Structure 1
């Protein structure tokens, strides 16, 4: 049978003289989706395939940058990325035959780029790959962010810095972005496409003090998710749910980035430039948004931004092709289309892939998916089923056969992770599990040494170790086992040795949602992301979450049903939800029914609820009072004073949990009272109008309290955070104190040259950024020569030794001759100087303190290695001067710490 498709468009006669490529998402670097390829008005179906249905990272359409298969075509090959099975697939364009598959260690969520005879792509595993277009064999691979730290991202084990800024190639350079959480660090890269060698990186856009929705201010930044594009001499980087940023294409320097300041403006992941069919105006083209993506219901009404059908329209020559028209013999919703190789290729939301071409063909070729083989029980799988739980996450550290994994997947709802080092076994296992239909979505394989594999803490319901390793490594692995019943299993031959992680983490608390203190000893600054996901959404003014014995209990309001309310903003409740506080996993009905916390989850489904939930000290539900959180010792002067900290707009008012004060201050935020940390912004998500940032069970939980809001917070999702070592980079806004109030009183201080904001340490030193960039900060009477030495900042993750304070050493000033700090309290001090060479050159200089030479020919040492020197008994009558005299190369200084001798350790 001949199946034909009539294009509903303006047609040009005949085919283009040469078949055209479609080498990247939406065809070109501007993402115009315009090809010079011309198609006939009558196309026949040549072949089709049914691929596994894609699994987007997020439920929210404004974040669904990976909502379906996005084909690219180079020559006679079509390439697809799979977010479900963690691989790139190559097909022959004439027949649809599968040519090769190339796997990564994590989901590949964005379309690759075909460049010359190579294919380039990034993965949630944090690596960027280049493979041969003909064979799929690896040409080069880099992990651009030098850290193996991982988390649970959208139900998968991923790098903390997944590559979700989709690649674009121009003039033999590839551009992409890694990291999605501004406060964890985000990185915009330019690499040589041929070799993977780094040309430039921008790592400074995660800690920008500036505007937030509702005209608030906070430390925040870009959250790269979506496809990068090139507009002339600028690189445009999408920022998840917010507006994109613009960077200098040659240097990577940030040129423009602002969040939507007004409330209720719906942003989204999609951006592109108008093509040649639209007139170019000025030096920049207008960035286009798609109304179908930026279209969401606020509590009061539907809101939108952008033009209709921008993403779902392409052009082939003079022909305009709209996805919405659908096509004969293409069932379901069209997700994407591309025109290349004299053909039209179509993908559907369900995973269909269709190729249409000219001419007559007796019958199209249909590539049927092979039914997966039934799972076969093995002796090992049967043994394990008597030991392991049926739900959650499980990890195998060491080799395991495919039959065992298939059987476990069929008998449980576990998500399984296998860590195997040997490449051939990894490849065979991935292919077997893919044929079984469970790879990626149920079972994933990371190629790595099992003993050294770094995992998130607390997430695994069981970890099975299949090889002998030292006891200290076992203890490190045990940290990944879930409290409240997780199991660490060590295999000795046919015997299994099981260690149970029973009960709570030592020092952790429960929280019953009653606005009472939760003195969790484990939740302390700095904090990093443990998991994030938006599966479980809640109305923005829902009741507080409860966190009990590893389970979060949440109840949302029935805000979409007008019959449930009596006034404009009052609603009834829906039944409670149960989720794992350590992974965000929504518990099944079977699990929930067995929980001992059922009594705590009982809710009244009939009574209309109050519009807001507030602690008893908040008298006005709609205009909360300013935070009141006791007294503190000022770290600069030692004086006792009322505790005060910056708080910008946030309708929750904040709540004091005892050790931690949490609030929305522009972004979700917290203040660690134990060290008087200042306000630490968790930029990206929106916390609730109800205080929904809860320290309990050893983590800081921020459930997804965003439904009914359209404000363009960059990354509205649920997450949890856990404490990290003090070497971890995390910035704060400490609050303004005038230099007049500090005059003659400063007795302890750290000066952090080039830093983006302030930072408090456990030892009691408040490090202040100079020049001041990170919001309200104590004012310093500080003079440098020259007046404005060149300052710089790089993320501390690059430092080669994380001993000490790498977030001080990672920034600095160059070429400074002297610096004088006034306002010190007279006395004797320990003065510490921190240096680190940001380059690879040789640098030597003399160091003077208070006019006396204390070091001659000081050698700055190797690149990105911190060097600290300490001098005791430095007498000050109210000021301190540090002078640097260059001998070879430019001088450099990262930080100065001044501590009175009676407090020096």
Structure 2
């Protein structure tokens, strides 16, 4: 049996011929993505039989796709590979008319027109952001949307701007995928029906997502609809009456073209691919390469095929999968499926009759015989269904598919190939550099677009030899700035203070690109130039494009006098270009300091301004005048008041899981999104380390790596791989990395590395303080930093969980899991590496290790138990052996006190934290069919038990399958928050945040545990969720588009809510799988 099987599929979608006549473009053009608004990928016009390469267009930069690759696999779903669902911008998809090829660039932010005959550039038009979708060509006009939030209409022949419309409701900008873009980027392209232009904007429903229809002739909005919880992504499709909107990783939906009425959602495996025919809508490819076909009117599911994409014409349908191309006879398939449906109905009737207890033996025998005959008929019909496959051709061309004339053209990692549509025979092929993601049939040319952004044109050999390939312009060919600009003292200051800094510079009042060109040579900052005149902004963009700077390196924007629109706290450097020409006019208003990045960002003020007096007028209290130079006063921002940090896996060395950040609560607005994606991360179910954040940097633990990003912009600062870094099952272990004010300490195998915070370079390596022979059977366990000392623990080799498999997930989500144990503690001088002290113990629980300013606390076995072979110990075994609660002097390692810890009922987890001169132990146990928790408070000076509380978990049942046995507590102010309740730390009495009687955390969806700022709790409840502690209000979502990990990855730190990607391996239906951050709506 061939791998593509259609057995038992009941289809009504075959009743009409495909390739609908509505909304078809001119036959000799390819005016939009996949030819038409149905995205059919079909043209009746054949291409030359013997194609040869005519020309190659090399863009100035390769595509900058919005979303990274998904996880390599999903252990829980037993998927060895996971399909990327959102791939609409992996290449520059071309469109064309009889004379020209048009495409938009996600890297240089321009729309380009090329000669169809030669591939030479005819014109380019610069926009304010990445262009991720192919333009739409109609009646000599080219429509395109940019991530700057605008819809552009250009005259196709010369590239002249006819009109532009800001689709976004406000000019607000955010940082997306490392670029400054609209807070409402259009991510579905446009669908143009004569004068009606259909579009959507926005990715985050919490910020607002919208669909709209624009009358391009009248220049006004016909209708606009807010989309509630929908996140549109992927090329729009349209019939005359219905607009079909993909939503990236989730299910598409439909709106009425006339007024935007919401018509409903479709069943789908998820994905940005879609194809519309008169009788069905096909969507996919899901996680495994699967197309779901639904009725375009009723939205009823019709069929499901193992394929990535398809094209169809007449009675024939062609399916493309990772390994095959397959053709299906649809008319015959229709008759057989109708018969199979009748047989299936008869089978259901017979089954009901056989279940009738009143049947006589004779009647039962008669119906059983009828059942046997019916099963045989079903089997025969199913085999005939399989014969409906016209042909089945092995093929690795799996990433693009069109039909031109009687040939299929398929693209993939091997290049491009042509197949005869009637026989399936491969009749032509050409290897290309990079994977082919886009195809278009131009008059007498096949256009091929690859992942490098190259467009290759294949034509008739009779047209002559291939034209020379174009070469992008280089900045050296552009006019050089005049000497007064090149010799300005700013450049020496820049090289001294910011030469290696990553981030953005904001240059206000920019008249031309001279300053920007020189600045690009002296620093690595990305440049944002602004001006108050729209014509001047257009000129800046054009000049930046000519200097090959537009896009990733530099952008130009219209400057609003009240500065609204620019993201706050985002710029490492802010100054006015007037510093170069008229310093008196270079004075900046005091509120502009809000746009300077905390923790080191600079503002250059006019030297004619009294900088100290000017600072007094600013609402920013963390800035100070660093220096007064001839050309400017340099003002630098520091740590914003009330911001917190997350330096250890549970916030600090005391394990409080509270950052003490006083600014991050429930009222949040998007700051940035993008950056590290799931392919670099550990599978979420395995619960690796939480991220860390301090002083404007976010450190994300990945698969044997750490990725450092700017907390305020999401820009990657550095990443470094470490063999032996990744650990799993952290609820049963401790942290193996932490932050000090000057270094990131990372344990790997038998040593601990001190890394530079700015670039990740190795500053020092610390080794276990044991002999070479002893170290062979040991590994570095716990890592902590406190009061100028580096602390570590030694544990048996293999004690830390490192395996990554489905079985490991099953084991970790079971009951009474053994906890990782160490047997030696030590302290080192972080500068010299000298050993300060070390002390041997009977096995102690890593999850109990907690630090105060001058003491270390731990729970250890009273005698030497027989550990499991991997150096772990169950809590039941601990209580049987006997346990001690111990306090050490952190300076010298001396035991200050040791108290017998009576056997506690805890059997699944044990966490210990220090707060307000008290020790708190929280853990879980079973009572009947309920998971319960015990919370115990001890005096940290003596170990005396002060109070205890016992309470049920907020999730019913036992078994640990959703992490209900390992909820880590939060210590915030005078409260211990142990899910689902809050208690007074002094007395153990129940507390009621916001004065709300019977306050508790409701039962929530998903695993994971709590993190807190002073204002709010943050946790997973399907989506990222917060619970305001000041008002005591019910939980509310931070966003509706992403899914947190299964431990902690919601960090309220640096005045932001940081949510680095931690859903790797999750294949559920949610729109965005990426990192992001939110700031308090009030700004700084």
Same-fold call, TM cutoff 0.5: yes
Which digits, 9 at most, give the CA deviation of each residue in 1:847-879, with x for residues without a partner? xxxxxxxxxxxxxxxxxxxxxxxxxxxxxxxxx
Pick the aligned partner of 1:490 from 588, 605, 611. Answer: 605
Pick the aligned partner of 1:105 from 119, 128, 151. Answer: 128
Is 1:642 matched with 2:642?
Answer: no
Mapping for residues 377-392 of structure 1, pairs under 5 Å: 378-380=486-488, 382-383=491-492, 384-391=494-501, 392=503
**Greater alpha carbon shift after TM alignment, 522-531 vs 677-686:** 677-686
Is 1:394 matched with 2:537?
Answer: no
In the alignment, the residues of structure 1 paired with residue 245 and residue 447 of structure 2 have an alpha-carbon distance, to the nearest angstrom, of: 27
Offset of residue 315 of structure 1: 0.6
Q: Is the 8 A contact 1:47 1:356 kept in 2?
A: yes
Q: Is the 8 A contact 1:660 1:672 kept in 2?
A: yes
Q: 1:258 to 1:319 in 2, by over 3 A?
A: closer
Offset of residue 653 of structure 1: 3.8
**Greater alpha carbon shift after TM alignment, 325-334 vs 342-351:** 325-334
Mapping for residues 688-703 of structure 1, pairs under 5 Å: 688-703=1045-1060
Q: 1:171 to 1:402 in 2, by over 3 A?
A: closer
Mapping for residues 247-258 of structure 1, pairs under 5 Å: 247-257=255-265
In the alignment, the residues of structure 1 paired with residue 512 and residue 31 of structure 2 have an alpha-carbon distance, to the nearest angstrom, of: 38
1:526 corresponds in structure 2 to: 667
1:774 corresponds in structure 2 to: none
Offset of residue 548 of structure 1: 1.3
SS at match of 2:122: strand
Mapping for residues 120-199 of structure 1, pairs under 5 Å: 120-199=143-222
TM-score (norm 1): 0.67
Mapping for residues 257-406 of structure 1, pairs under 5 Å: 257=265, 267-273=270-276, 281=279, 284-289=280-285, 306=308, 308-309=320-321, 312-324=400-412, 326=416, 327-328=429-430, 330-358=432-460, 360-370=462-472, 372-374=474-476, 378-380=486-488, 382-383=491-492, 384-391=494-501, 392-399=503-510, 401-406=512-517
In the alignment, the residues of structure 1 paired with residue 162 and residue 38 of structure 2 have an alpha-carbon distance, to the nearest angstrom, of: 27
In the alignment, the residues of structure 1 paired with residue 571 and residue 185 of structure 2 have an alpha-carbon distance, to the nearest angstrom, of: 20
SS at match of 2:52: strand
Offset of residue 197 of structure 1: 1.6
Q: 1:318 to 1:431 in 2, by over 3 A?
A: same
In the alignment, the residues of structure 1 paired with residue 433 and residue 157 of structure 2 have an alpha-carbon distance, to the nearest angstrom, of: 31
Is 1:609 matched with 2:801?
Answer: yes
Q: 1:118 to 1:76 in 2, by over 3 A?
A: same
Offset of residue 133 of structure 1: 1.3
Offset of residue 628 of structure 1: 2.4
Mapping for residues 559-574 of structure 1, pairs under 5 Å: 574=704
Offset of residue 53 of structure 1: 1.1
1:43 corresponds in structure 2 to: 51
In the alignment, the residues of structure 1 paired with residue 252 and residue 694 of structure 2 have an alpha-carbon distance, to the nearest angstrom, of: 39
* Number of aligned positions between the proteins: 655
- Structure index of larger Rg: 2
Q: Is the 8 A contact 2:62 2:451 kept in 1?
A: yes
Pick the aligned partner of 2:1027 from 671, 674, 678. Answer: 671
Which digits, 9 at most, give the CA deviation of each residue in 1:610-651, with x for residues without a partner? 85898834537643265324678799xxx7512135443111
Q: Is the 8 A contact 1:43 1:356 kept in 2?
A: yes
Q: Is the 8 A contact 1:576 1:603 kept in 2?
A: no
The runs of 5 or more residues in structure 2 that have no matched partner are 1-25, 70-83, 292-304, 310-319, 322-397, 417-428, 609-628, 723-736, 750-778, 780-797, 803-811, 814-846, 848-908, 912-921, 926-959, 966-978, 984-989
Q: Is the 8 A contact 2:274 2:284 kept in 1?
A: yes
In the alignment, the residues of structure 2 paired with residue 409 and residue 355 of structure 1 have an alpha-carbon distance, to the nearest angstrom, of: 35
Is 1:544 matched with 2:701?
Answer: no
SS at match of 2:1063: strand
Which digits, 9 at most, give the CA deviation of each residue in 1:194-219, with x for residues without a partner? 3432111111x23xxxxxxxxxxxxx
Q: 1:305 to 1:73 in 2, by over 3 A?
A: closer
SS at match of 2:491: helix
In the alignment, the residues of structure 2 paired with residue 453 and residue 659 of structure 1 have an alpha-carbon distance, to the nearest angstrom, of: 27
SS at match of 2:556: strand
SS at match of 1:705: coil
1:501 corresponds in structure 2 to: 636
Mapping for residues 202-221 of structure 1, pairs under 5 Å: 202-203=225-226, 205-206=227-228, 221=229
In the alignment, the residues of structure 1 paired with residue 168 and residue 1052 of structure 2 have an alpha-carbon distance, to the nearest angstrom, of: 29
Offset of residue 577 of structure 1: 2.8
Which digits, 9 at most, give the CA deviation of each residue in 1:240-262, with x for residues without a partner? 211111112222111213787xx
The runs of 5 or more residues in structure 1 that have no matched partner are 1-17, 207-220, 275-279, 296-302, 559-573, 727-905
SS at match of 1:199: strand
- Bigger helix share: 2
Q: Is the 8 A contact 1:389 1:461 kept in 2?
A: no
TM-score (norm 2): 0.56
SS at match of 1:46: strand
In the alignment, the residues of structure 1 paired with residue 443 and residue 637 of structure 2 have an alpha-carbon distance, to the nearest angstrom, of: 60
SS at match of 2:206: helix
Q: 1:155 to 1:294 in 2, by over 3 A?
A: farther
In the alignment, the residues of structure 2 paired with residue 555 and residue 259 of structure 1 have an alpha-carbon distance, to the nearest angstrom, of: 35
1:628 corresponds in structure 2 to: 981
In the alignment, the residues of structure 1 paired with residue 740 and residue 577 of structure 2 have an alpha-carbon distance, to the nearest angstrom, of: 33
Offset of residue 675 of structure 1: 2.4
Which digits, 9 at most, give the CA deviation of each residue in 1:493-542, with x for residues without a partner? 99432443333111111122225222211112211110001325432222
SS at match of 1:706: coil
In the alignment, the residues of structure 2 paired with residue 356 and residue 59 of structure 1 have an alpha-carbon distance, to the nearest angstrom, of: 30
**Greater alpha carbon shift after TM alignment, 689-698 vs 357-366:** 357-366
Q: 1:679 to 1:259 in 2, by over 3 A?
A: farther
Pick the aligned partner of 1:444 from 555, 558, 562. Answer: 555
Offset of residue 234 of structure 1: 2.0
Q: 1:316 to 1:84 in 2, by over 3 A?
A: same
**Greater alpha carbon shift after TM alignment, 646-655 vs 349-358:** 646-655
**Greater alpha carbon shift after TM alignment, 325-334 vs 47-56:** 325-334
In the alignment, the residues of structure 1 paired with residue 1016 and residue 584 of structure 2 have an alpha-carbon distance, to the nearest angstrom, of: 38
Offset of residue 725 of structure 1: 4.7
In the alignment, the residues of structure 2 paired with residue 44 and residue 318 of structure 1 have an alpha-carbon distance, to the nearest angstrom, of: 18
In the alignment, the residues of structure 2 paired with residue 492 and residue 294 of structure 1 have an alpha-carbon distance, to the nearest angstrom, of: 64
In the alignment, the residues of structure 1 paired with residue 910 and residue 1032 of structure 2 have an alpha-carbon distance, to the nearest angstrom, of: 23
Which digits, 9 at most, give the CA deviation of each residue in 1:470-493, with x for residues without a partner? 999723321111111100113559
SS at match of 2:1046: coil
Q: 1:709 to 1:509 in 2, by over 3 A?
A: same
